[in-house]
Structure 1
Amino acid sequence: MKIVVVGGTGLIGSQVVTLLREAGHEAVPAAPSTGVDTLTGEGLAEVLEGADVVVDVSNSPSFDTEPALDFFTRSARTLFAAEKEAGVRHHVALSIVGVDQVPGYGYYEAKVAQENAVRASGVPYSLVRATQFFEFVAPVMDMSTRGTEVRLPSTRLRPIASADVAAVVAEAAQGAPSHGIRNIAGPEVFGLDRLGELTLAAEPDGRTVVTDEEAGLFAGMPDVLTGDDSAHLAATRFEEWLKRS
């Protein structure tokens, strides 16, 4: 099959492309750096010619409400119009566990709008919702650092390795459209502050974690980011991943 991976040069997308190629498919990364822009439509018709499946793992360059909402809704309109023209038979999109249970958080609301666009598109689809990636912990810590203190809330997460996410997305792309949601998560639940402590224990840099329930992106989040009993639990554990990273 020809499978076009939108966002195919990023953290998840590049791994999806590799897995699909190893499985014998023609996997084509689509991103501004490859001449494809889902906001303007530049290069879309060309890259989608003969495509059977589109995987969308692209991301907004901003977590702010308006830019994120504009990115996800405008790119969805442009992408689905091009997919219908090309006769694409399956659209796979990556979203976030608990995304529709976090009112008032603009980035999550933008992702819900993207999911709604997928459902309303008329293109057969599969939605994969993942918990936060292991790779996201260090950047969150950097954003929350004040001097030598990393101020983090104890918000509960069940983080997952990006490689495990990529494997499930690639599997979905090779299967039939589910017209539903598959939730995936890591094997362990941690407070975000504990994830920070484990990260610094593995690679000390002079900083210490201070628990602050009002600090950072995840402050005040409802307890919905770990998934429920329906979530598929990946095998990779955070501390094992830290040792290899």
Structure 2
Amino acid sequence: MKIVVIGGSGLIGANLVDRLRRRGHDVLAASPRWGVDTLTGEGLAEALIGAQVVVDVANSPLFEDGAVLEFFETSSRRLLAAEDAAGVEHHVALSVVGSDRLPQSGYLRAKMAQERLIKASGVPYTILRSTQFFEFIGGIIQAGTEGDVVRLSPALLQPIAADDVAAALADLAVGPPLNGTVEVAGPEALPLDELARRAMAVNGDGRQVIADVHARYFGAELDDASLTPGAHPRLGPTHFHEWLERASTPT
């Protein structure tokens, strides 16, 4: 089966390409780096020739509210139209758990716009909503830094290893379209401020972490339901402490 991975050079995309190739599929890793640009349409029609499945894990290079919305709307429209013309049988997209619950976040509003375009396109689809990746905890800490302290919400997250997200996407890509949404999360829910303390301790970062219920998470205030999955999500097997141990071990 020919599978095209849009965003195939990124954290999730590269992992997914490798997984699918090891399963014996003909996989094209597509990204602007390799001449396929969903924002401009460059190389898109050629990349989709003969493809049965497209997995879209591309992310916006800019995160200002207007720019991220333009990226997801424009790239999704171009990609879905090209898929329809090429006869693609299954569109798989990576989205975010909680996108429909945090309209204060420009990024999550853009992901919801992407989901609406997918559902209206007529191309059979599966949307995988994932919780936050372990790999992004450093960026969350940085975003919450104020001088010598880190101010973060104590709301629960149920974060997941990027490797486990790629595994879930690989399974969905080779299965039939669900024409619906699936959630994937890590095996345990932990307060965001506690996740930061654990990560900082492993890295020898002695700054104080302050739990603040009003601290914003990329523009939005959180509660325990904001970024945690609903009933019966798929659960990745990797625990945060296991991931921290591996991430901090010299190679």
TM more than 0.5: yes
User: TM (normalized to structure 2)?
Assistant: 0.94
**1:14 aligns to what?**
14
Quote the residue 2:25 is aligned against: 25
1:214 paired with 2:214, answer yes
Alpha-carbon distance in 1 for matches of 2:106, 2:145: 23
Displacement of 1:143 in angstroms is 2.2
State the match for 1:76 in structure 2: 76
Aligned length: 245
- 2:46 maps to 46
Gaps in structure 1 of 5+ consecutive residues: none
Counterpart of 1:197 in structure 2 is 197
Residue 216 of structure 1, CA deviation: 4.0
Q: Which amino acid aligns with 1:79?
A: L
Distance in 1, matches of 2:206 and 2:226, equals 32
Instruction: State the Cα distance separating 1:221 from its structure 2 match.
Output: 2.2
Structure 1 residue matching 2:217: 3-state secondary structure: coil
| Superposition RMSD in Å | 1.3
Aligned to 1:233: 235
CA distance in structure 2 between the aligned counterparts of 1:190 and 1:51, rounded to whole angstroms: 40
Distance 2:221 2:88 in 1: 40
Q: Could you tell me how far apart the structure 1 residues matched to 2:210 and 2:64 are?
A: 25
8 Å CA contact 2:7–2:13 kept in 1: the answer is yes
Question: 2:28 and 2:208 mapped to 1: Cα distance?
Answer: 43
Question: Deviation digits for residues 13-38 of structure 1, max 9, x if unmatched?
Answer: 11000000000001111111011110
More displaced stretch, 108-117 vs 60-69: 60-69
Q: How far is the alpha carbon of 1:148 from its aligned partner?
A: 2.7
Distance in 1 between residues matched to 2:191 and 2:76, nearest whole Å: 34
Separation in structure 1 between the aligned mates of residue 62 and residue 153 of structure 2, nearest angstrom: 22
Distance in 2 (alpha carbons) for counterparts of 1:191 and 1:56 = 30
Paired amino acid for 1:121: S
Q: Is the 8 A contact 2:153 2:217 kept in 1?
A: no
Task: Tell me the TM-score normalised to structure 1 length.
Answer: 0.96
Percent identity for Structure 1 against Structure 2? 52
Following the alignment from structure 1 to structure 2, what is the Cα–Cα distance between the partners of residues 235 and 80? 32
